[in-house]
Amino acid sequence: MIRKLFRKSINKVQEIMAPLNGEIIPLEKVPDPVFSEKMMGEGIAILPSDGHVLSPVEGEIIQVAPTKHAVGILDKNGLEILIHIGLETVALKGEGFTVTVSPGDNVVVGQPLISFDLHYIQENAKSIMTPIIITNSHTLKKQYQFTEETEAKATETIIMTVTENGA
């Protein structure tokens, strides 16, 4: 009984690391309403300064887009994290992307997921801006806090903190 009373006040905090180097952009400023209006979920974006995507969490790869522009990770706490490289990059049909993971792979923080030709994508896509979305945020009872920092260093900068009130 006492354990249940005290457990309600315990917060479980989870940190999501930056999967890329670059400039941090609030999701509301992404020039695509699917992301900026949070239709896909809560998140943040990064304007990459290089072409390397690293795992921001420990988890399992649950999706790799056939066009290699996006990867989904299920972390150990049940968050579904989508890293979507650029906007309208599906039209590139995989050109300029190299994926190093497959669905079912277990990954650790810092593990390479995708590499991409930054200049090719800048020239051939609407934007290189890369949303990082919690796709199941609408169904989870968690609080999301986003960094106020403006520059991200892959796997070093905490871009998002997720808090769950203990039940």
Just list the catalytic residues: 84
Kindly give, in sequence order, each residue whose CB lies less than 8 Å from that of residue 116, ignoring residues fewer than 6 positions away.
Answer: 51, 53, 69, 85, 96, 97, 98
Contact (CB, 8 A) for 92 and 28 = no
Among 136, 146, 116, residue whose Cα is nearest residue 45: 146
Among 64, 61, 113, 51, residue whose Cα is nearest residue 90: 64
Contact (CB, 8 A) for 135 and 83 = no
Give backbone dihedrals phi and psi of 152, rounded to 5 degrees, phi first.
-110, 140
Instruction: Report how far residue 79's alpha carbon sits from residue 9's, in angstroms, rounded to the nearest whole number.
Output: 21
